[in-house]
A = this chain, B = another copy of it.
Amino acid sequence: MADYKVRFDSHPEPIQVPSGTLLVEVARQAGIEIQQPCGGQGRCGRCAVRVESGQVRRRSVLRLSKSDIDAGYALACQTVVEGDAAIVVPPPEAIQRRLTTDHTAPEAVIPEGYDALRSQSIRRVSIQLTPPTMDDQTDDWGRLCAAFRQATGLEQRNTSLDQIRQLGQILRSSDWHVALTFDTGKKGEARLIRVQPADEAADGPLCGLAIDIGTTTVTVWLVDLLTGRVMRQASEYNQQIARGEDVISRIIYAGKGDGATELREMVLRSINGLIGKSCERTKIAPDDIAKATVTGNSTMMHLLLGIPAESIRLEPFVTSINHVPQLTAADAGIAMHPDGIVDSLPGVASYVGADITAGVLASELRSSADLTLFIDVGTNGEIVLGSSEWLVTCACSAGPAFEGAGVVHGMRADTGAIEEVWIDERTHEPSCRVIGNVAPRGICGSGLISLVAEMFLTGILDKGGNINETLTTPRVRQGLHGVEYVVAWAAECEGEEDIVIARVDIDNLLRAKAAIYAGFDVLADSVGVPLETAEQVLIGGSFGKYINVEKAVHIGLLPDMPWERFHFLGNTSVKGAYWA
């Protein structure tokens, strides 16, 4: 076998190795440490290196995208030398970032063809009024409406008492030269949102908000309505979490005493805190925000507006309202211009809420000729199947396992959460990726999926979800909740306990994934279309931000399809609100 010279960017001398030597082996000879959390099985992607030149053969490219390969990336544990080669070993952080980016949806882009005059309904016009005289005693409001009609061709029928209260003073202090912010409304009847002195408004900002209220996370995008640009994205935990981690416990809490009021105030604090911070960073005044589009699951929409959600929880699972009529910001309690307009996206029915409508919008399902499966999984999994011709949808009660709740050592996808696990199939020793690169505190939803998939692949779990108790590893043992597998010893952890996954946790996850997979089946059956024929699978929600699709396929959460059919869209709910 011929020997080849392999050069590393970080090593002065080339290493001479026989043909077919694994790159990890070459690196070890050079004294270069390459991480292999998955034990060299080509599954974690952390050993990726870049082949600058020369000939190598990639045995597996499981964790690499086509663009990765085009850029020269190869998995050191799965790639053998077949000629002289020059290799760059990226710093571990670079790999991690690359992988994380892999999991993250692209940034918000301005929808193609955005036009402030056609794409949205908020306008601002500057009008010079003729001041009143003894010969023309038209009232201020009548004068304004007449000039407005002349300038825009629209009637101005609706406004708030507050606008009328401020009108006289603003007209006089501005020498009758004012800027009007209004919604073009429907049937030619505009709604006045704001009157300002024209020079104060001149070229000033005119903003909107896209708000997504998740059960766990609230996301706010501050948008420049004149250009369509997203000026700021901000997310924060929904403060309601303190009163229940899933929608069911929130509904129950809302039904007790002042629970509904408390929950409403909590989510408003989350939203308004995000608006406040976004305004501060962008130097926008809340009064410059004239419009908000709100989305969220049915329960979140009900709780935001103080509408009892009890009927969503009880059979036949009916919402009080799917499509909340247009409100003012003052009524909705949102910290923008009090006369600003708050539009809610419509829900479909029951648990298929406005977030899914937003997702369908943002995923452009409607305009795709291909059969597409759209999935948004959080505490509930919502699934949409269809194309531009038709759409069917269902919701599956997955339970909180995917959000890290209801699991012995579960936690939210926060710092300290194990989010990915690789297990050595020989030693059954795990290695973990932890959010924030700190000592682990628990396992989040994607960590759980990854862990269970690895346990299955390495023979720790059988198909029925039973832990193989005959394995000779201290990590498999009897615990408080039956047989368990130790993911991290107390000594490695932030807390004082071992982090384990117990049989009950596995059962939870199996039920959750079964619920979702059943959703796929029911949906596909209901229209007589085999799921496999779906030409793309779009994954939305924060679920889609962290999940390892490959492992999700392994455990049977996602349908087994070619990798390239899966696309991560990130938070499609807020994106849909933004588009709307």
Binding site for B on A (CB under 8 A): 132-134, 136-142, 157-161, 164-165, 167-169, 172, 187, 305-308, 310-311, 315-325, 327, 331, 347, 349-350
Report how far A161 CA is from B302 CA in the complex, Å: 11
CB contact under 8 A between A320 and B167, given known A158-B325, A306-B161, A325-B159: yes
Report how far A514 CA is from B315 CA in the complex, Å: 77
Which residue on chain B has the smallest CB distance to residue A186? B157
| Contact between chains at A140 and B305 (CB < 8 Å) | no
Which residue on chain B has the smallest CB distance to residue A160? B331
Report how far A369 CA is from B288 CA in the complex, Å: 55
| Contact between chains at B134 and A168 (CB < 8 Å) | no
List the 7 closest pairs (A to B, CB-CB), nearest first. A141-B321, A139-B322, A139-B319, A168-B320, A132-B318, A137-B349, A134-B316
Report how far A209 CA is from B325 CA in the complex, Å: 28
CB contact under 8 A between A320 and B141, given known A168-B310, A308-B168, A308-B169: yes
Show 21 A/B contacts (Cβ-Cβ < 8 Å), sorted by A: A132-B318, A134-B315, A137-B316, A137-B350, A139-B318, A139-B320, A139-B322, A139-B349, A140-B311, A141-B320, A141-B323, A161-B306, A161-B327, A161-B331, A164-B324, A165-B305, A165-B320, A167-B320, A167-B321, A168-B310, A168-B320
Describe A's contact surface by its main secondary structure. Answer: loop
A339 CB to nearest chain B CB (Å): 12
Query: Which single member of B157, B168, B322 contacts A325 (CB below 8 Å)?
Result: B157
Report how far A350 CA is from B135 CA in the complex, Å: 11
Report how far A322 CA is from B132 CA in the complex, Å: 14
- When distances are taken between beta carbons in the complex, the residues of chain B under 8 Å from A160 are 331
- When distances are taken between beta carbons in the complex, the residues of chain B under 8 Å from A349 are 137-139
| Contact between chains at B308 and A165 (CB < 8 Å) | yes
- When distances are taken between beta carbons in the complex, the residues of chain B under 8 Å from A172 are 311
Which residue on chain B has the smallest CB distance to residue A159? B325
CB contact under 8 A between A140 and B325, given known A165-B306, A315-B134: no
- When distances are taken between beta carbons in the complex, the residues of chain B under 8 Å from A316 are 132-134, 136-137
Q: Give me 11 other A-B pairs in contact (C-beta within 8 A), A132-B318, A134-B316, A161-B305 excluded.
A: A139-B321, A141-B320, A141-B321, A141-B323, A142-B321, A142-B322, A157-B325, A160-B331, A164-B305, A165-B320, A168-B320
- When distances are taken between beta carbons in the complex, the residues of chain B under 8 Å from A305 are 161, 164-165
Report how far A141 CA is from B172 CA in the complex, Å: 44
